[in-house]
Amino acid sequence: MGSVAAVEQAASEVAKPAAKPNDVRSVELKLEAPTKEDEVRSMALKYFPEFNVQQYVVIVTGGGRGLGLTMAEALYQAGAIGMIAWGPHHAARGTIGTDFFRTVHCLDRLPEPEEEFLRVQKQEHRIPGGAIEYHSIDIRDTYALQKLIAVIAERYSRLDGVIAAAGIQKITSALEYKQQDVEDMLAVNYTAAFMTAQEVGKQMIRFKTPGSIVMIASISGQIANKGLQSPIYNSSKAAVIQLSKNLAMEWGKHGIRVNALCPGHILTPMVKANFEEQPDLEETWNKEIMLHRLSSPNEFRSVAIFLLSQGSSFMTGASINIDGGQTAW
């Protein structure tokens, strides 16, 4: 599906020999004075070290836009506190840019990143350290997907976490669904999510970096979401919730945590498209939500850091509802 060649090229880069221990490159560092925001962040890490995601290497599928990008941005910012990134990815340990390098890798199907991603990426010049990279890939291509994940893990000799946020939705009556529609939706929402988690699990075990896998599900996987005629989307998210529990059971012995995040209604481009198809849907949902409003993607920034950090070190096999109280009636 067009992504294998790019992945193979990346793999060849990984195969290049690493720098020798004494091969320390000279580099001039021009550091700006810490801002007040930097000082606040450093103080927060001092008192809440369990939420430190510095040095983490994280993959976010569906990370080119919407909720995935928002969570990727939060991780990128949180891991960049006081860090300096420099040099090749295979720099010798102990040189600048080795112990401190941390990257968020965003995977999305768009051939080129949208303006919103580029805005986030441009923050690199003012947020110390780290990086956020975009990879165009069709995650239904299992070979290319798993190869890319392996390349990323090999590149840093570690993989700390993944947020499987890629998903598609279609509002259609159950009486009108075609078999191909069902297969297309399950290929992205369930099969690709599973194959993502599978390869991430393999790499975490390989490099002995037990980390956190976050499966983006939905409250639509728990309830018959009033007004939302999308039976395959809803049932695919129910499958993701159950999958996270089974993976947590299998991989707990390796220290790998797997949890499902179940958002309520978020005002994303996908939801805005729903409102165009069903103009009365927003009012219906607002009545069902105890806070009488939809959420914004920014309200999920902190839970991304919580789930991927040691702040959630004893949480696995859980389903976390963040839905404004909709499922509490």
Give catalytic residue positions.
233
Q: Which residues pair with 212 in a beta bridge?
A: 161, 257
CA dist., res. 158 & res. 167, Å (int): 26
CA dist., res. 239 & res. 242, Å (int): 5
CA dist., res. 22 & res. 24, Å (int): 6
- Residue of 4, 82, 78 lying closest to 38 (CA atoms): 82
Cα separation values, 60 from 33, 132, 225, Å: 31, 10, 26
CB 117 within 8 A of CB 134: yes
Question: How many residues does the structure list for the chain?
Answer: 329
Tell me the backbone φ, ψ of residue 61, rounded to 5 degrees: -80, 145
The one-letter code for the residue type at 64 is: G
